[in-house]
Chain A
Amino acid sequence: MTRRPTTFLARDTYRRRRLIDGLRVLPFLGALLFLVPLLGAETTGRATAYAGMYLFAAWFLLIVGAALMIRALARAPGGVGADPLEPGSRGDEV
């Protein structure tokens, strides 16, 4: 099956920018995950074992998410943000 021709030309650049937007959101997601235990902390005590499991699971999820995004970004045109000081590279557009 052939792909329908699209009117949107700079699709790759668009994807890259949205990927960067995702990277920008990630720390806020992380903060949210790490602060969730605060809810209701005054009223009920929590078991260290299970709270710990939640924290480490959230932590791991965040790391995996970041790793996947960086990998996708590195493969996108423009890479992870070229450095204009490096010879032979082009400045990135954001």
Chain B
Amino acid sequence: MVGFNLLIFVSLAYVGFLFLVAFWGDRQARTGHGGWLRAPIIYTLSLSIYCTAWTFYGAVGYAARSGLEFVTIYLGPTLVMVGWWWVLRKLVRIGRAQRITSIADLISSRYGKSNLLGVLVTLLAVIGTTPYIALQLQSVVLSFSVFAQQGGEGLADPEATAFWVAVGLAAFTVLFGTRNLDANERHHGVVTAIAVEAVVKLVALLAVGIFVVWGVSGGPADIVRTIEASPIDRWDLQGPRWATMIFLSAAAFLTLPRMFQVLVVENVDEKQLATASWAFPFYMFLMSLFVVPIAVVGLEILPDGNPDLFVLTVPLHFEQGGLAMLTFLGGFSSATSMVIVAAIALSTMVSNHIVMPIWLSARSGGAAMSGDVRQVVLLSRRMSIAGVLGLGWLYYHLSGGSEALASIGLISFAGVAQVLPSMIGGLFWRGATRVGAALGLTVGFAVWAYALFLPSFGDAGMMTARVLAEGPWGIGWLRPQAFFGVEGMDPVVHAIFWSMVLNTGCFVLGSLLSFPRPIERLQGAQFVNVFEHSRTAQGWTRGNAESEDLLVMAQRIMGASQAQALFQEESARQGKDGYLPDTTPDFLRILERELSGSVGAATAHAMVGQIVGGAAVSVDDLMAVADETQQILEYSSQLEAKSEELARTARQLQEANEKLTSLSIQKDAFLSQISHELRTPMTSIRAFSEILKEGEMAVEDTRKYSGIIQDEAIRLTRLLDDLLDLSVLEAGQVTLNVQSGNLTDVLDRAVSAASTVRDGRPLSIKRTPSREDVALRTDTDRLAQVFINLIANASKYCDSAKPRLAISVVEQGGRRHVDFVDNGTGIPPESQVVIFEKFSRLSDQQKAGGAGLGLAICREIMSKLGGGITYLPGQGGAAFRVTLPL
């Protein structure tokens, strides 16, 4: 027999022991001996706060009422843990990369550090968790009363008991949950205590199970017989409910604030998660292994007892005082650990997303000017813890510890599960926006409250039986448990189905239709692609922030020594002495991340923003950056173009220089040439005129010599004519005699005029008359002169044994060209550039009888006529292309 006083003593001793454990854990972590705190087993055990008093006591009750359905509460989390590679791994990585402090912080941070969403999720979490805390208080009170009844006295004042339990838990949580504003929000003491409690509750439940199976019954076979004989021998499996419960527990496992706290915030190493992915399902497996046996044995021996308390009452029935005490401690552990972590998680959310923003906006002086922020944060946390527990107690007080509390677990799960669409969407879909998340959360929350939460109060609440049956104001399709007239669904399944469908629908639709702010898009990319780049990139443009102001603020939040260390480190990195680094965007980013570990992303962002001058990235900044980049790109491409142009010019200059040099050489050569040319006829003229002057010769000789003199004079005249012609052309003083004509005629004239016989080798000319029929309106005489010149050149210089000249008319790019191609060796490339220059002659072919002016004249003529003449390389022989004037 266990006396009530002994029970009080044992529980106080247990609490004292937990205090010591927590104190020791904190101390180990602080003194750097906390390596074992990183062990995966500690992490796995801390996850056991999922198994609250509701599951410790309630699972057996659940099984006694609905058979195997209770396992769904564990199967969902099992799937989530086993599938850690999909969601949890990403969640933990993001939590560490972004210094996430709570689930509200996660949602707020993902959607552009939106405080609206932070507040929304916080409210949802508080409303969803409060009944759950009340449930824990109730379970502790109930278990106390069981012992009190056993002692024959009865629990004098259950509400007072609940109150003092709440006060005790608040004290414990304040003491170990808000000891320090750890930069990464880890509570080693609390985690250690919770790990111990996890072991206690597992051992307790296993002990009762083993006692029931082997102590009360005769082993597993006997238990099977007992099950067969029990009221729950048939498994009445309701498909939709079964599937919905698995989904719901999986969703709640991810979104419950306390689970997020231990899963993500308290995680120190991803390897912990890998081990926990099978170890925690195994823990839950063990926790539920003996639930059905305990339930059926309880139903058999205590048919009138409260099934929720079989875990306690069965050992007591068999006078196993020690076992009952252990079980009591197990239940106590389940309740307290849940309440402590939930209170820490909720207080962090309330303080970071509700109290701090209000406080900051109230103190318009700015974060640097105001008082000790650190103290304010801690105070607001402590107040929040007290507030959360107070709310839990109030709820318990108001509901009067009714049986209705038993179903509150599922209702609570369904409430917090509303965060799931925004959370999963935020992790995997970059297009998810703040508007969509806010819309989805609000709608999902409203549907949950309307269809599940409010009806749970029964007639006492707003949902009277009449509203349930007929709908509000008689609107049938709005009946809280039969939306759109779809009847016959289980109320819980109904509420979860519609809230999730409408929530997800609004979230997706809102995201598709709205447009995210720049910071939202940055954060979205950071979250979705966390494995690609694990550094934050929300930019602070270099504002007018004074590092001193920042240091003052950081000291107040992080504590003096930690802040100074951070600043000094940054200074050193920048290559400076002292504590005041330059406020580079990079440094501001690091600082904000450190601060967000203490006060949450949104608040940290706001505080740094106050000092920096609100210079977070705005669209304008982004545009400016983009413009700048664009300008730089343009400038560099301009530079590139310019340098190309310069290179081209240099090449041209070089070519021109080469041309000039070779021209100068040619000119020198020509001068000697021309003097020679002039001198030769002059010499013969002089010689023969002297002979004639002497007289005394035959008439025949006189005529012959005079003929020679005349020929030479003609040659001289022709040379001088050419020179004159060219200078006139070059000076632009020529007058053109424009007339209509036909290309055939001009060519005919040219061919007949040109001398086409040289050294007895006649030049054969090939023409295509059909193409030559082109009407011309130009100075046909001048054009004929050009053609004559070209034909004469071919005749003179073509070195083939059977010289041939092809004259063809081609049309290209809207212009007509006449090509003169002979079958000689052509003109070497190095000479091609100078042939159109004056005085250029490629050979010493004196016999040609020209002075090297022909092509120069041709070029001048063609340019005067509005056409052109070019050398056409690669035709097999010398080839000239005359472009006809338009």
**What is the total number of residues of chain B having a CB less than 8 Å from a CB of chain A?**
46
Which residues on B sit within 8 Å (CB–CB) of A37? 235, 237, 242
- The distance from the CB of A43 to the nearest CB of chain B, in whole angstroms, is 11
15 pairs, A vs B, C-beta closer than 8 Å: A26-B83, A27-B83, A31-B246, A37-B242, A45-B234, A48-B67, A48-B68, A51-B235, A56-B289, A59-B78, A63-B278, A74-B274, A80-B270, A83-B270, A91-B531
Which A residues between 51 and 69 are near B, CB-CB below 8 angstroms?
Answer: 51-52, 55-56, 59-60, 62-64, 66-67
Chain B residue at smallest Cβ distance from A42: B239
Q: Is A34 interfacial (CB 8 A cutoff)?
A: yes
Residues of B275-315 whose CB lies within 8 A of A: 275, 277-279, 281-282, 285, 289, 292
Chain B residues, Cβ within 8 Å of A51:
68, 235, 237
B80, B278, B279, B281: which has the most chain A beta carbons within 10 Å? B278
Does A30 lie at the interface of the complex (its beta carbon under 8 Å from any beta carbon of B)?
A: yes
**In the assembled complex, B370 has its CB within 8 A of some CB on chain A:** no
Complex contacts, A64 vs chain B, CB 8 Å: 278
The reply to whether A80 and B68 contact each other, CB–CB distance below 8 Å, is: no
Q: Please, what's the 1-or-0 string for A15-54, where 1 marks a CB less than 8 Å from any CB in chain B? A: 0000010011011101100110110011001111101100
Given contact pairs A46-B237, A85-B97, A60 touches B67 in the complex (Cβ within 8 A): no
Query: What separation, in Å, do the CA atoms of A52 and B237 have in the docked complex?
Result: 12
Which residue of chain B has the shortest Cβ distance to A54 in the bound complex? Answer: B68
B86 CB-CB contact with A under 8 Å: yes
Beyond A41-B239, A59-B285, whether A48 also contacts B271 by CB under 8 A is no
Counting contact residues on chain A (CB < 8 A from B), the size range is 35 or more
Task: Return chain B residues, CB-CB under 8 Å to A73.
Answer: 274
A54–B234 alpha-carbon span in the complex (Å): 15
* A/B pair count, beta carbons within 8 Å: 126
Residue A10 at the chain B interface, CB threshold 8 Å: no
Q: Is chain B's interface secondary structure helix, strand, loop, or mixed overall?
A: helix
> Are A59 and B281 closer than 8 Å at their CB atoms?
yes
| Cβ of A84 to closest chain B Cβ, rounded Å | 5
Task: Contact check, A48 vs B96: say whether CB atoms are below 8 A apart.
Answer: no
Contact B71 A63 (CB under 8 A): no
Question: What's the Cα separation between A55 and B69 when bound, in Å?
Answer: 11
User: B542 interface residue, CB < 8 Å from A?
Assistant: no
Are the CB atoms of A70 and B233 closer together than 8 Å? no
B 13-59 contacts with A by CB, 8 A: none
The CA-CA distance from A74 to B277 in the complex, in Å, is 13
Are A45 and B235 in touch, CB under 8 angstroms? yes
Q: Which residues of B contact A (CB under 8 A)?
A: 67-68, 71, 75, 78-80, 82-86, 89, 93, 96-97, 224, 227-228, 230, 232-239, 242-243, 246, 269-271, 274-275, 277-279, 281-282, 285, 289, 292, 531, 534
Once bound together, how far apart are the Cα atoms of A59 and B827, in whole Å?
A: 94
Q: Which 10 A-B pairs have the closest CB atoms?
A: A27-B83, A80-B274, A66-B278, A67-B278, A41-B237, A49-B227, A46-B235, A45-B234, A38-B239, A84-B534
**B residues near A63, Cβ cutoff 8 Å:** 78, 82, 278, 281-282, 285
Set of chain A residues within 8 Å of B242, measured between Cβ atoms:
35, 37-38
**Which residues of chain A are within 8 angstroms of B93 by Cβ–Cβ distance?**
83
Task: Give the nearest-CB partner of B530 in chain A.
Answer: A84
* Contact indicator A70/B274 (Cβ below 8 Å): yes
Do B82 and A66 touch across chains, with their CB atoms under 8 A apart?
yes
Most buried by B among A23, A49, A73: A49
- The answer on a CB contact under 8 Å between B281 and A38 is no
A78 sits at the interface (CB 8 A): no
- Which residues on A sit within 8 Å (CB–CB) of B232? 48
Known contacts A30-B78, A79-B271, A81-B85; 12 additional CB pairs below 8 A are A23-B85, A27-B82, A31-B79, A34-B246, A35-B243, A41-B239, A48-B232, A49-B224, A59-B281, A80-B274, A85-B534, A91-B531
Q: Which residue of A lies closest to B246 (CB)?
A: A34
Of chain B, the residue at the smallest CB distance from A50 is B224
Bound Cα distance from A51 to B237, whole angstroms: 10
Residue on B with the closest CB to A92?
B531
Point out the residue from B75, B83, B278, B285 that lies within 8 Å of A34, measured CB to CB.
Answer: B75
B270–A48 CB distance below 8 A = no
A70-B275 contact given A41-B237, A51-B235, A62-B281, CB 8 Å threshold: yes
